[in-house]
Structure 1
Amino acid sequence: DGPVRVVRPGVPGGALRTRLSGHIQARLPGSAGGVAAALATGDQGGIGLADAEAMRRAGLAHLLSVSGLHITAVVGATMVIVLRLLALIPWLARAVRLPLVAAAAAAAAAIGYTALTGAEVPTVRSCIAALLVLMALAIGREAVTLRLVAAGAVSVLILWPEALAGPSFQLSFAAVGAIVALHESPQVRRWFARRDEAGAWGGGRHLARQLAALLLTGIVVEAVLAPIALFHFHKAGLYGALANIIAIPMTTFVIMPLEALALVGDVVGAGVPFWWLAGVALEGLLTLARVTAAAPGAVAVIPAMPGGAFALIVGGMLWAGLWRTRQRWLGLAPIAAGALWTVAAPFPDLLVTGDGRHVAIRTPDGAVAMLRDRSGDYTQAMLAENGGVDGLPVLLAEQDFARCSADLCVAERVSGARRWRILATRSAYRLDAAALIAACATADIVVSDRRLPRRCRPRWLKFDAALLAKTGGVAISLRTGAVTTVQRAHDDHPWRRLPMVASTVADERRLRRAPDRTQSARRADQS
């Protein structure tokens, strides 16, 4: 370790994306400038941590990740501008099919915008979908169908097959697929079809129908994305559908056009008023996110969702989305079964990271308490999320059910009809072997980041450095006796392989002494 040393200085100014982000944030300081930069270049580094968290809790984080909404806005704006400008030239309008020229210009804009924003998976998917839509319009075919979604998914998977397992791919295509499937439904088409609006209230009824369509779309999208978000991140916003009714039109028709006008105006030195208006709109968006995120019950939080429950929910959603007839309602059965399975899954009472340094124990009031007084924000957030808690953990040393010294903590928790005694080491200093062995004998579970003596024999489980090197992180439910580990018994994939310590008979016996319900399943933490 040592001071940072510059090996080779970077190029002054950096790439176009970096320069553009810096230019925007110089015009709009703070989180407003960070959001404006994210919309233009995909760079989210300028958004304050509190505001970024508020956007996630409010269900508005998708606005920060350049995807379908942004590509659609760029393509639509390009087509309208090119068509209007070319239509001003009569001989060109008579000689050339202007929609084809506008579509070609929009395709070039989509590709350029995708490259500028870093060509992330959601952006590439949206760009491919936009190109397919433009091609369909050019040849007179129906543009927005589930075939289009499938073509975009196949194109992305050909380039990045590993994206299938990632949340970005799943959230992106789930949202688009839900929107297309919803609006392909004959009943929904009848509800929101264009019709003559006679009378003085015709315009109001038309606006009400459009708002209802937007609200229904938001609710369906939120319902589809919630299981995926809960599976990967253990939390999902509940008020996103309502917040997006305001946020999406504001972003599409106010913020992005004002930002584009401001950038164009800067070329001739006339961008200041547009930046001011864009700043006001962006502050309004951030205020909406803060208010929504602070509302009671804004976020649903659960521990790790069972893999089988997630598979049932996704399978049911695919069934409901692909069918157009009444058979689609059969998909509700596996969705309900997966939801009930998720709700019935026990919350872990004890969480241990893979190195054994960090331990979180559930408190009687439902929070989680950290073993060590000092731990990073990421570790605290990760253990809280895996414990199904919305907020940061408390300190174990400050809890009434625990006694802690500088080197050890002993916690007693009542679960069901039994009192559990948990012993954990919390320093790297040498401990008296005889005292440690005696303490182990009185504990049900012992956790340590060091290799403990063989004579340290708790009544149930001992997770020390030797065993944790093979199991990875651990989550334990005291009520059911379920033990969930990161590493499976035969999980020997190269990208998952951990440094192995020689197996001992005692290690295997300790795990076998757990109740029959003990299981080794998918990850309990993501450290």
Structure 2
Amino acid sequence: MAFGARQTGLKEGRFRALSAIPARLEAWLEAERTQLPLWLPVGLVAGVAAWFWLPGVRAWAGLLLSMAALALVGFAFGRGGRTGRAVAIFGLSVAAGCGLVWWKAERVGVTPLARAGVARLTATIERVEPLPARGAIRLTLLPRTLVTEGKGASANAPLPSRIRINVPIENAVAGLMPGAIVSIRARLVPPPSAAVPGAYDYSAVAWFGGIAATGKALDPVTLVRPAPPSRPSQWLADMRIALTAHILSKLPPGENGVAAALITGDMGAVTQDDNEAFRRSGLAHLLSVSGLHLTAAVGATMVLALRLLALWPRLALRAPLLLIAAGCGAVMGTGYTLLTGAEVPTVRSLIAALVVLAGVALGREAMTLRLVAAGALVCVLFWPEAVAGPSFQLSFAAILSIVALHELRWVRVTFEKREEAWPRRLLRELVALLLTGLVVEAALAPIAIFHFHRAGLYGAAANIVSIPLTTFVIMPAEALALLADIVGLGAPFWWMTGKALALLLWIAHSVGSLPGAVTFVPTMSRSAFALVATGGLWLALWRTRARLLGLLPIAIGMAMTLAAHPADIFITGDGRHLAVRGADGRIALLRQRTGDYMRDTLSELSGREGDEAVALDDLPGARCGPDSCAALIVRGDRVWRLLATRSAYRIDRAVMEPACAAADIVASDRRLPDWCRPRWIKADPTLLRRTGGLAIQLARPGVTSVAELQGAHPWAMLPPDHDPASPPRSDPSYTKRAWAARDPWRDDGPDDDGPADAGGLQRPLENAR
């Protein structure tokens, strides 16, 4: 049967449209050919991120094979064009990133401590970190001997490779320096996993840092052998500690902690209130020695070197002064990095600075996207695990957004320097600073939401004043004060530094305390974050109008985040802490004596301030006694029943068994007997040891566990053999009519303390009915 003219023409039109796609794609990539190399580090980052995201070995191997297949397809069918080569090289870079971080995880990780306990150990000090604001000193130790105490004590316990211990100031002794051998009695615990899904997971950081245990000293430290004669690395560590102590002695509390952080990177003396104010105001980056501080040090060195060298006319006429100044800046940057402890963020900033200096020495433009990409490439090759951390993401997102913005033609034309009156020039520069700050805040907001569940609103305005104040006033004044102290004339400069720091602290506290200074966002899924990151990179790295397509995944990712609902119940991995999200969004805590860290963590995951948390006793529908709490939680047209214990006292089986049977969820920090059988989840240590902390959704019944998010990564918990996320069983008891039936949970009369049970304990479940 022959096709009609209309049908044939339609099919031919579609065929022509489809056949034109490769040609259009080639034309687009030809126009973007200078931008294609920028996607090589992006592919490496994507591979590393995929390894952290995917659950286990099969998924990682599948990613490697699929990327290899994609590369083969690209090379086989893309001959003579850019599309095939670009796809193939990107696929290979993704595979290289995944393989690199997988290899490093298997190479550097150490087996964590088997169980918590008290031990006496002899160890060599590897690193010393004073924490004056906490009244402690943090020691990183290389154990030599370890003897456990208590039940199952052993003098031949497996020796952890590296331990981090906090020593209270009253238990410290003189001579705690790198290389010294000490004897310490401490309580040791394995590196903790995230308390609940979405919280900070230190176990991954400890794995790549080779830390097998953390702990706290219980008795005064004994110095077994002093540190040997100083080596260069130890000399720098000693100098850093001495310089920090000198700065702390020159300024009043509060200001001295910030001053020490700016010079030596030691944040141990920054108070909790000041630290929180810097975070809320969007100025926390000022306290971490990274790009801003390194740029100031390198830039000041280059300017000073150029001015001094130019004083010698013969040298100025014959020598490449810019190259010499760049070399001086590189030496200063390297020395400053070593002095501040060579932390990974500082080293990344140094690499970026060295790349820029190399570009200057070669006569290239000082800062381009290619130089940023080169810096990111080096960082990923040496520290692939840093990709998953907020420090790497925040630093490169900031510099990428700044450079991408100022490479736009209309931005160059609008804000380039020109001959004009100084008020107009000042206004132009202020507008440029504000625009840059807004773009940086927009770039950093998704990262802050994903990692910290919060985003600042006034950071751009605060940074307009605080960055110039820090760069051009505080740091030069502090450097002059330290230099003048050599001859005992530093007092005027310390006075100037103190006044400038007081102004900086006032800005941080004032902006951080403004209404709406911080917006809490309870949850951002990995999928939403990946979409936003992909859209942001697409928008920043391309130059044709096709870059605007990046707005689509950004919009989808942010819409997913705004539409997401936080969990209704959080149960920590040890079973001690439980939080219920009330109808108003505030959380109700099982234990009134919950510490600030856990209170803030649970509150932020629910999208609220930590000080807004209330006691579970005050939640409508909750009845609590000294040993347990029972709560009715209404979600939609369903009422859920929660039972939680909060003491170690025995509860009579005659009361406990029917209460368990009536409950949907039971949570406890002690093992519950087999006859305690709730309808859905029994979150006691038997389950929590396999799942870790739990986040429970009630509107759409489901559970997310820490073990599920960790997958089969080397630092992960043992995979659970029970799936707590299975939906509740369907039976008539889940209907509203069944919940309305009379049972021990209903609050249909006044409190009845009831008689004591045989053990002399009150019957809390009857009290809390």
TM-score (norm 2): 0.64
Residues 701 and 727 in structure 2, CA contact (< 8 A), matched pair in contact too: no
Q: Which amino acid aligns with 1:338?
A: G
Aligned to 2:423: 204
Aligned to 1:150: 373
SS at match of 1:7: strand
CA distance in 2, matches of 1:207, 1:9: 61
Following TM superposition, by how much is the alpha carbon of 1:514 offset from its aligned partner in structure 2, in angstroms?
A: 6.4
Candidates 60, 65, 68, aligned match of 2:288: 65
Aligned to 1:99: 322
Aligned to 2:696: 476
CA distance in 1, matches of 2:339, 2:667: 49
Following TM superposition, by how much is the alpha carbon of 1:457 offset from its aligned partner in structure 2, in angstroms?
A: 2.5
CA distance in 2, matches of 1:510, 1:150: 42
CA distance in 2, matches of 1:301, 1:514: 35
CA distance in 2, matches of 1:217, 1:39: 23
SS at match of 2:639: strand
Residues 226 and 237 in structure 1, CA contact (< 8 A), matched pair in contact too: yes
CA distance in 2, matches of 1:439, 1:231: 38
Aligned to 2:553: 334
Deviates more, 1:104-113 or 1:2-11: 2-11
Pairwise mapping of residues 133-172 of structure 1 onto structure 2 (< 5 A)?
133-172=356-395
CA distance in 1, matches of 2:723, 2:302: 66
Following TM superposition, by how much is the alpha carbon of 1:53 offset from its aligned partner in structure 2, in angstroms?
A: 0.3
Aligned to 2:638: 418
CA distance in 2, matches of 1:148, 1:412: 58
Quickly say closer, same or farther: Cα 1:10–1:229, change in 2 above 3 A. Answer: farther
CA distance in 1, matches of 2:348, 2:226: 32
Aligned to 2:503: 284
CA distance in 1, matches of 2:709, 2:516: 39
Quickly say closer, same or farther: Cα 1:398–1:447, change in 2 above 3 A. Answer: same
SS at match of 2:455: strand
CA distance in 2, matches of 1:489, 1:86: 57
- Report whether the alignment pairs 1:354 with 2:576: no
Residues 182 and 217 in structure 1, CA contact (< 8 A), matched pair in contact too: yes
- Report whether the alignment pairs 1:511 with 2:731: no
Pairwise mapping of residues 252-401 of structure 1 onto structure 2 (< 5 A)?
252-392=471-611, 393-401=613-621
Q: After superposition, give the CA deviation of every residue in 1:427-451 in whole Å (9 maximum; x if it has no partner).
A: 1222222311111122221112223
CA distance in 1, matches of 2:220, 2:456: 40
Quickly say closer, same or farther: Cα 1:489–1:138, change in 2 above 3 A. Answer: closer
Residues 702 and 726 in structure 2, CA contact (< 8 A), matched pair in contact too: no
- Report whether the alignment pairs 1:41 with 2:41: no
Residues 346 and 480 in structure 1, CA contact (< 8 A), matched pair in contact too: no
SS at match of 2:632: strand
Q: Which amino acid aligns with 1:476?
A: I
Q: After superposition, give the CA deviation of every residue in 1:396-446 in whole Å (9 maximum; x if it has no partner).
A: 234443221221111122221222221111112222223111111222211
CA distance in 1, matches of 2:517, 2:704: 29
SS at match of 1:409: strand
Residues 163 and 169 in structure 1, CA contact (< 8 A), matched pair in contact too: yes
CA distance in 2, matches of 1:366, 1:416: 15
**Structure 2, gaps ≥5 residues long:** 1-117, 119-217, 731-769
CA distance in 1, matches of 2:311, 2:546: 52
Q: Which amino acid aligns with 1:167?
A: P
- Report whether the alignment pairs 1:185 with 2:405: no
Following TM superposition, by how much is the alpha carbon of 1:251 offset from its aligned partner in structure 2, in angstroms?
A: 0.5
Following TM superposition, by how much is the alpha carbon of 1:511 offset from its aligned partner in structure 2, in angstroms?
A: 2.8
- Report whether the alignment pairs 1:250 with 2:469: yes
CA distance in 1, matches of 2:627, 2:406: 61
Residues 538 and 547 in structure 2, CA contact (< 8 A), matched pair in contact too: yes
SS at match of 2:657: helix
Quickly say closer, same or farther: Cα 1:366–1:9, change in 2 above 3 A. Answer: farther
Aligned to 1:403: 623
Aligned to 2:439: 220
Residues 630 and 642 in structure 2, CA contact (< 8 A), matched pair in contact too: yes
Aligned to 2:350: 127
Q: Which amino acid aligns with 2:360?
A: L
**Structure 1, gaps ≥5 residues long:** 516-527
SS at match of 1:511: coil
Following TM superposition, by how much is the alpha carbon of 1:106 offset from its aligned partner in structure 2, in angstroms?
A: 0.8
- Report whether the alignment pairs 1:5 with 2:221: yes
Aligned to 1:436: 656
Residues 692 and 717 in structure 2, CA contact (< 8 A), matched pair in contact too: no
Deviates more, 1:438-447 or 1:45-54: 438-447
Residues 178 and 224 in structure 1, CA contact (< 8 A), matched pair in contact too: yes
Aligned to 2:665: 445
CA distance in 1, matches of 2:546, 2:487: 59
Residues 352 and 358 in structure 1, CA contact (< 8 A), matched pair in contact too: yes
Following TM superposition, by how much is the alpha carbon of 1:8 offset from its aligned partner in structure 2, in angstroms?
A: 3.8
CA distance in 2, matches of 1:490, 1:255: 43
Residues 691 and 717 in structure 2, CA contact (< 8 A), matched pair in contact too: no
Following TM superposition, by how much is the alpha carbon of 1:367 offset from its aligned partner in structure 2, in angstroms?
A: 1.1
SS at match of 2:519: strand
SS at match of 1:195: coil
Quickly say closer, same or farther: Cα 1:492–1:129, change in 2 above 3 A. Answer: closer
Residues 461 and 514 in structure 1, CA contact (< 8 A), matched pair in contact too: no
Q: After superposition, give the CA deviation of every residue in 1:364-405 in whole Å (9 maximum; x if it has no partner).
A: 322111111223222222111222212233222344432212
Q: Percent identity?
A: 56
CA distance in 1, matches of 2:687, 2:724: 11
Following TM superposition, by how much is the alpha carbon of 1:203 offset from its aligned partner in structure 2, in angstroms?
A: 1.2
Residues 58 and 237 in structure 1, CA contact (< 8 A), matched pair in contact too: yes
Q: Which amino acid aligns with 2:703?
A: V
Q: Which amino acid aligns with 2:221?
A: R
Following TM superposition, by how much is the alpha carbon of 1:153 offset from its aligned partner in structure 2, in angstroms?
A: 1.1
Residues 710 and 717 in structure 2, CA contact (< 8 A), matched pair in contact too: no
- Report whether the alignment pairs 1:463 with 2:683: yes
CA distance in 2, matches of 1:416, 1:510: 20
Following TM superposition, by how much is the alpha carbon of 1:508 offset from its aligned partner in structure 2, in angstroms?
A: 4.8
Aligned to 1:486: 706
- Report whether the alignment pairs 1:238 with 2:457: yes
CA distance in 1, matches of 2:725, 2:505: 52
Superposed CA RMSD in Å reads 2.0
SS at match of 2:634: strand
CA distance in 2, matches of 1:442, 1:257: 68
Following TM superposition, by how much is the alpha carbon of 1:480 offset from its aligned partner in structure 2, in angstroms?
A: 2.2
SS at match of 2:707: coil
CA distance in 1, matches of 2:225, 2:570: 44
CA distance in 2, matches of 1:376, 1:333: 42
Following TM superposition, by how much is the alpha carbon of 1:9 offset from its aligned partner in structure 2, in angstroms?
A: 7.1
CA distance in 2, matches of 1:497, 1:420: 29
Following TM superposition, by how much is the alpha carbon of 1:465 offset from its aligned partner in structure 2, in angstroms?
A: 1.7
SS at match of 2:357: helix
Quickly say closer, same or farther: Cα 1:374–1:100, change in 2 above 3 A. Answer: same
CA distance in 2, matches of 1:343, 1:366: 15
Aligned to 1:520: none
Q: Which amino acid aligns with 2:343?
A: E
TM-score (norm 1): 0.92
Following TM superposition, by how much is the alpha carbon of 1:512 offset from its aligned partner in structure 2, in angstroms?
A: 4.3
Following TM superposition, by how much is the alpha carbon of 1:124 offset from its aligned partner in structure 2, in angstroms?
A: 1.2
Residues 702 and 725 in structure 2, CA contact (< 8 A), matched pair in contact too: no
Deviates more, 1:133-142 or 1:89-98: 89-98
Q: Which amino acid aligns with 2:273?
A: A
Following TM superposition, by how much is the alpha carbon of 1:35 offset from its aligned partner in structure 2, in angstroms?
A: 0.8
Aligned to 1:174: 397
